[in-house]
Amino acid sequence: MKRTSTRLADGREILYFDTADGAARAVPDTRPLDAGLTSSEVRRDPLLGDHVVIASHRQGRTHLPPTKDCPLCPSTPDHASEIPAPDYEVAVFENRFPSLAGDTGRCEVVCFTPDHHTSFAELDEERAALVLAAWTDRTVELSAREGVAQVYCFENRGAEIGVTLAHPHGQIYALPFVTPRTTRMLAAVAAHRDRTGGNLFDSVLATERAEGARVVLEGEHWSAFVPYAARWPYEVHLYPHRRVPDLPALGDAARAEFPRLYLELLRRFDRLFDRADPTPYISAWHQAPTEPGRARADFALHLELFTVRRSADKLKYLAGTESGMEAFMNDVRPEDAAARLREVATP
């Protein structure tokens, strides 16, 4: 893999990831851009203890532009985009409208492909492996930055999810705090360790593999299953069989098997409903906090993939119980969701 780092016109960093060592991507950005102004602020809720990011400058960010004005497509003589090169494989750059910046962290955009009209599910295994390499590279670098407590790689896909750019892309947040979800997981893991002496992540994975009713896909080094208490209509968790804290700690064998299994999962999601448009989803990597210690040693890297679509013509909205009380009500039985995801396997 070749990694090329350069700068955009306003000083933001952009990195190109290529499979071939000979790729030349250091093209100058000739746009007349001024340095962006950000006003990110992290506040803590006194009642819940959760951190909330206030980023009012994002109100003016780019929102669903026409394809000809897409900021994530390669630049052309008629359109200078956020990516100056006329072509690329995978590109990562600092977000122009970041939720987190400076002392509050960093936000990066990950472009999976220069093709505006495709999706992650349509990538080949080599390109998916390159995206995994980019996620890993950024996790290593961002985790080492002062003040970064957790690195979060994710993809939002579909207007129903709320994406503001249609081009296939994801994001990486270098957070100055450990997220509420991870904090709750770690509390449950610590309580399980005190009670049993074992690891809760290991126990969950072993139970799902042994019972099998909710297992969707299984390889030599990874297993994908619908969780016992799934919150979303179709929700799949993908775990490596050997517990590791984050993407950089993955072994070579697990790294090599991941593209095939992950692409199969995404393609099954697109076949869930009898619709011409692709299934909206969120794909989220859960990685351990960066600070060494018991919590990091106990954490298990895993990916959570879910859709807000509950049937061909219905969406799962976060209504009163979910939004108001964080008490989820699922319309689809997890075992039925798993069975459906097995049914739509690649022929």
Task: Tell me the catalytic residues.
Answer: 169
What is the Cα–Cα distance from 301 to 330, expressed in whole angstroms? Answer: 25
CA-closest candidate to residue 339, choices 272, 281, 289 = 272
What is the Cα–Cα distance from 114 to 95, expressed in whole angstroms? Answer: 17
Specify the 3-state DSSP secondary structure of 310.
Answer: strand
For residue 119, the tally of other CB atoms under 10 A from its CB is 18
What DSSP assignment string belongs to 135-151? HHHHHHHHHTSTT--EE
| Region for 56 from its dihedrals, namely left if φ exceeds 0, alpha if ψ lies in -120 to 50, beta otherwise | alpha
Is 230 within 8 Å of 308 (Cβ atoms)? no
- Tokens describing residue 35: 């340095």
What is the Cα–Cα distance from 201 to 215, expressed in whole angstroms? Answer: 16
Written as one letter, the residue type at 63 is: H
Is 108 within 8 Å of 98 (Cβ atoms)? no
Neighbouring-strand partners of residue 215: 225
Which one-letter DSSP state was computed for residue 68? G
